[in-house]
Amino acid sequence: MTLEGGPRAGARPDDAALRVRAVVDVPVDDLVPVGEGTRRSVAEDLRYVYGEGQPTDWLDAGPGRDYPTMIRAARAALTERGLLDDVRLVLLVVTTPDLQHERLLGGFVADLFDGRPYTFCVTEQGLAGPFTALRLAHEELRHGGPAGTGLGGSALVLVLEQCTLPLAPVRVPARDRVVALVVGHDGPGRPVEALSVARAPRGARPAAPAADAAPGAVLAADAEPGVAPDARRVVLGVDVDASAVTALDGEVVLRADAGAASTGVWEVLAAHDDAAPGASVVLHERCVELGYRCSLALGPRTVREASPGAADRAREAVLA
């Protein structure tokens, strides 16, 4: 699956590139955890399905936040920034299961957001989920809806993960996180120049994360002497082999937090979006467990009017 960009002759106005208008790392550490009743209900259901010997002590070991609470926090943070005025589509990206099982997230989201937006959930794609969600956002805004003429407006992608989980052989996040991306085809933002989700060999995860780049959550790399404000930022997922990624002299190479799951590279994008608006950004992610290799190239933050001129004619979506 690829989404490629670049000016081309004869482009129609509706061929505009998807633009990442805003990226917000939503604070969730102070949110209220679920009640004892929810934990007890989950424990009872687990024992009913898997037997009385099923361990459930992990339910009391984590912070215990559920996705409805985290989604409410994201809505409040985005509303405060004025980013939800024209949202027609909400895409939830879920890599780790919700702590509660009493609410269906699709109906919950449709009722929570003004205008009852269309709601989709991307699951079972591991770290490729957010990249797939961006492609879905592009297609639905342009060609979705009952008439197939596009939803218009903007889309909200919520990348969710919570850490109150049993021990597992896959990556488990170190804390609860929500990263929100607001995307559309006009207005200010970073244009999507290329997006790719490709199959890759599965394999065992490295025993320890690589230490070949600056920690992405820290902006110290941007303040280093000699780093140009518009130097391209290259963001590497935890399991990406840096030797397989082309980085030019003068570029700032950053590594996602090893304690994150699907939110890792998106947290880095959120941190650097405002810090370096004139710089292009490239994200590389690798999902070892499911066998995906993903990348996203974003141009510098610019303003694009709703009716594009010839110099800003947009991009063609290519499905491969």
DSSP letter for each residue of the chain: -EEE----TT--GGGPPPEEEEEEEE--TTSPPPPHHHHHHHHHHHHHHH-TT---GGGGTS----HHHHHHHHHHHHHHTT--TTEEEEEEEESS--S--SS-HHHHHHHHSTT--EEEEE-S-GGGHHHHHHHHHHHHHHH-STTSS---SEEEEEEEE-------SS---SS-EEEEEEEESSEEEEEEEEEEEEE----PPPSS---SSEETT-GGGGGSTT--TTPPEEEE-TT--GGGS---TT-EEEE--TT-STTHHHHHHHHHHTT-TTS-EEEEEEETTTTEEEEEEE---EEE-SS--GGG--------
- pLDDT (0 to 100) of residue 48: 95
- pLDDT (0 to 100) of residue 114: 93
**pLDDT for residue 251 is more than 60:** yes
93 bridge partner residues: 122, 159
Q: What is the largest CA-CA distance in the chain?
A: 67
CA atoms within 13 A on the CB side of 132: 19
Whole-number Å distance between alpha carbons of 18 and 101: 34
- pLDDT (0 to 100) of residue 230: 87
Tell me how many degrees the CA angle 6-198-25 measures, rounded to the nearest 5.
75
Confidence of residue 167 (pLDDT cuts 50, 70, 90): confident
CB-CB contact of 165 with 62 (8 Å): yes
What share of the chain in percent tops pLDDT 90? 69
Confidence of residue 315 (pLDDT cuts 50, 70, 90): very low
**pLDDT for residue 239 is more than 90:** yes
Whole-number Å distance between alpha carbons of 296 and 275: 19
Look up the CATH superfamily of 13-29+60-185. Thiolase/Chalcone synthase (3.40.47.10)
CATH 3.40.47.10 region(s) of the chain?
A: 13-29+60-185
Task: Please state the rounded mean pLDDT for residues 141-159.
Answer: 93
Judged by average pLDDT, the poorest of 40-44, 136-140, 152-156, 217-221 is 217-221
**pLDDT for residue 12 is more than 50:** no
CB-CB contact of 179 with 159 (8 Å): yes
- pLDDT (0 to 100) of residue 308: 43
Judged by average pLDDT, the poorest of 36-45, 169-178, 292-301 is 169-178
190: nearest Cα among 106, 285, 270, 293: 270
Separation in Å, CA 68 to CA 1, 7, 32, 185, 261 = 30, 41, 11, 28, 19
**pLDDT for residue 155 is more than 60:** yes
CA atoms within 13 A on the CB side of 28: 28
**pLDDT for residue 11 is more than 70:** no
25: nearest Cα among 177, 173, 142: 177
